[in-house]
Amino acid sequence: MTEQKSPALKRSIGLWSAVAINIGAIVGGGIFVVTGIVAGYAGPAFIISMIVAGLIAFITAMNLAKLTAWRPVEGGVYEYGRQLVRPYVGFLGGWMWLVANTFTGAAVALGFAYYLSAAIPGIAVNVVAAVMCLVFMGLNLIGARESASINNVLVGVKLLVIVFFVIFGSVYVNPANFVPFVPFSSGVLYAIFFIFFAYGGFARVTVIAEEIKDAHRNVPRALLLSLGISMLIYVCVGLVAVGLVGAEGLAGSVSPLSTAMDITGVAGASQVIAIGGLVATASVLLTNIFGVSRMAYSMARRNDLPSVLARLHGRRLTPYYAIIGTGLLMAGLVLFVDLTRVVAVSTFAVVFTYCIVNISAYKLGNGSNWRHRVLALLGLATCIMLLGFVLFASPDAWVIGVVFLFAGGVYYLLTKRWRRQKSFSQRIRYTSDSVQVEV
């Protein structure tokens, strides 16, 4: 009699689909939504903040690429922290990753609704954002390959719109909008923290590693390729946006790229950008629910979250309970939060998880090439620096982030204690039964 195997995740995503998933996760909420917040802090010099944040992200991405080449596994930072540091550290990394990306999903859903409100004034922004979370929850339930195919189309459309924005908008750039350009200011430092939100999704492909073909090679490649492409896009778009309307014009808008394109006075141009904003935020939301559900699945199969989240659909091989839970949580969140606070809390949580990535990379490289250890320490130092910026740029984000971190730690200790007591009770019951049989 053959033993029936339980369903497992299927490797159905190739290199370029993996690159598209990561670009889908990175390019969207950041450039189409957070640009206005960042411009309000740094003024025209927020381009400097974009470049520095991108370089910080690239250092951590190189360390993460080393980890994924070593062992590509569903769950990414959670698994690396668990295996290389301590199970408790790995849990906190996974927990804060869930917090970060749940808030990111809420932010991009709100961004989608704001861009839609530019075309349809008067709509209920929070309600529209909640509905979009539920719609993309449904798309994720269909299957990984199908979700990746939809994402490929969305990424292609938004890249075309971005190319249009850069080429068409550059004709109308006014150099006077770059004055005053003050690269050394506290605002530029705070802006680095907020714009890091725009790069924060670069680890998405590592969380779905068990669904990518030839993962040992393709996951690190997809990680670094997508981040490099996204950084180039951000700098080009940022330069044109400031040149069109100036930092003050961007700072006062919840749909900043549409606002920038309005200055051209060309009928239909800003509508094209609004469509791009809708598509861009939609693709981020799609990949965000994808990633959060896979992290929850990875943690649940090790019993660090309720085991029901690790159940796979028998035919579609998707963690359907994890997907449904993710979609409902995001839909509830967007009904009660504002955009700036969501971005700050998300960035705090994602930077914390990247601290654990760099610690894990240091542990992996311990005793090997000294350059690997130096790179890991540099990544950790830059992430700690970003956490320091949070304290000054958004103190309430620190408070909320620490509350979530504390809640995760308490949950882990309580569930560990409960499992230990349950195991002890089972051993007592087994011993009692054995004694009765002997009698």
Helix (H, G, I), strand (E, B), or coil: what is residue 102? helix
Q: What is the pLDDT of residue 344?
A: 75
Q: What burial class does residue 2 get, using C-beta atoms within 10 Å of its C-beta: 0-12 exposed, 13-18 middle, 19+ buried?
A: exposed
**Cα–Cα distance measured from residue 208 to residue 191, given in angstroms and rounded to the nearest whole number:** 30
pLDDT digits (tens, 9 = 90+) for 51-97: 999 999 999 999 998 898 888 887 788 889 999 999 999 999 999 98
pLDDT digits (tens, 9 = 90+) for 169-219: 999 999 998 888 888 888 888 888 778 877 877 887 887 777 788 888 888
pLDDT of 263 above 80 = yes
CB 99 within 8 A of CB 84: no
Residues 6 or more apart whose CB falls under 8 angstroms from that of 336 comprise 126
Two tokens, residue 354 = 């990247």
User: Helix, strand, coil shares of the chain as percentages rounded to 5?
Assistant: 80, 0, 20
CB 203 within 8 A of CB 356: no
Residues 6 or more apart whose CB falls under 8 angstroms from that of 388 comprise none
Place of tokens 């927020």: 46
CB 230 within 8 A of CB 23: yes
Residues 6 or more apart whose CB falls under 8 angstroms from that of 183 comprise 45, 48
CB 97 within 8 A of CB 270: no
**Cα–Cα distance measured from residue 60 to residue 357, given in angstroms and rounded to the nearest whole number:** 7
Two tokens, residue 1 = 């009699």
pLDDT of 438 above 50 = no
pLDDT digits (tens, 9 = 90+) for 398-432: 888 899 999 999 999 998 888 777 665 655 555 55
Instruction: Provide the 10 A C-beta neighbour count for residue 80.
Output: 29
Q: What is the pLDDT of residue 167?
A: 92
User: Residue type at 226?
Assistant: S
